[in-house]
Each structure stands twice: as C-alpha cells, then as structure tokens.
Structure 1
Amino acid sequence: MTELVAPAFSKPNQLLSMVDGLELVDLDRTDECCGFGGTFCVAEEAVSSKMGKDRVADHIKHGAEYITSADLSCLMHMEGILHRQKSNVKVVHIAEILNGI
C-alpha cells in the first residue's frame, strides 16, 4: 500500500481520500511550510533550508513513502533535500496521483 502525507482537512486531502489503495499519513505539523517561496528562500536561505529539512523530517518520522503537494516549487525544494539525504522517499504532484500516475 502506498503512503502519502496530506493535511488533516483540505480539499486536496478530500480528493486524495477517494483514491483506492492510498493511505494518508498525518504529520505532527500539518500547518508548517516547507520554507520555499518567492524571494524568501533567497533572502533567508538558511531559514528556508532549515524549514525544508524540518518538513522532510516530519514526513520521514511518520513513515511516508511519498510526499505530495499541489505546489511544484515546494516539491522541488523537498525533493532536493531528500536527494541530498539519499532518502528513498519520493515526491509526486497531486495531479499525477489523481491522474493515476
């Protein structure tokens, strides 16, 4: 069974809950940002990096096999962190899941 992480209540979560064979995993901080956005990640590189690492760690802590989002820039940021950590956790855009990957 594939495990994905999504917020406790959201429209994307509601859509994902309708996908057969998909288990949604709750995080400790569903409200926390990955730290990648606009000029923030450039002006506050260290803070952005730490936020992303914290976000990824929350997913890993809960055994997520995949991280999903509707925001491609967030996914790219977290994927870079996962890649540098040599993690097996994958990122996938919500549209890919809803389209049946």
Structure 2
Amino acid sequence: MFRKIDPARAPSPVMLTIDGVGVTADEGEPLAAVLLRNAPYSCRRTPVSGASRAPFCMMGVCFECLVEVDGATSTRSCLVRVRDGLDVRRQNHRPGPDGGLA
C-alpha cells in the first residue's frame, strides 16, 4: 500500500518487531509510516466497537495511531522515530489503570 519514494537515499536499516514479527525499517523514520507499510495496516482497535484505526494526521493531534512501544501503552506512533530493537504491539484493547493492556 505505502512504499518509499527513493529507497536509494534511505538511512541505515534497523530491525524492530511489530506484534512479535521482525521488520526492517530505516532508522529515524516515523513508526506510523512503518505500520502503514505492514499488514494489517492499522495501529489499534477501538475499545467499544473493535473498529480498526490507522494514522491520520501524522503529527500527534488525532490520537488514531496509538500503539504499545517497549511496554508503554497509548504511545502516538507518528511521534516515535524508529530505532534498532524497538518492540511494538498494536493496541487492540483498552489500556488498564496500571498502563498494561486490560
């Protein structure tokens, strides 16, 4: 669905995991962009209806791109820059009061 415009100008590749699956991305690119390139092309599900949500504004305003990053829930993926070893989980449940997924 989404692809890089000029892969020849890409910075060094790094490895991260999304839902336990290894993914290669460019260091420093927005995490939301990586999620949009990897199926199921969404970041979270709404707690009420379970509808899929994906990045929309790409600047931290809409909160549609919330994911769990290195154990921290409700992290706006559009504001996170990819680095080596990042552990990302799509947020499919409402975060609990302790910050974990309920």
Aligning the two structures, in what range does the TM-score lie when normalised by the shorter sequence? under 0.3
TM-score for the superposition, normalised by structure 2? 0.27
Tell me the TM-score normalized by structure 1: 0.27
Which structure has more helix as a fraction of its residues? Answer: 1
Bigger share in strand: 2
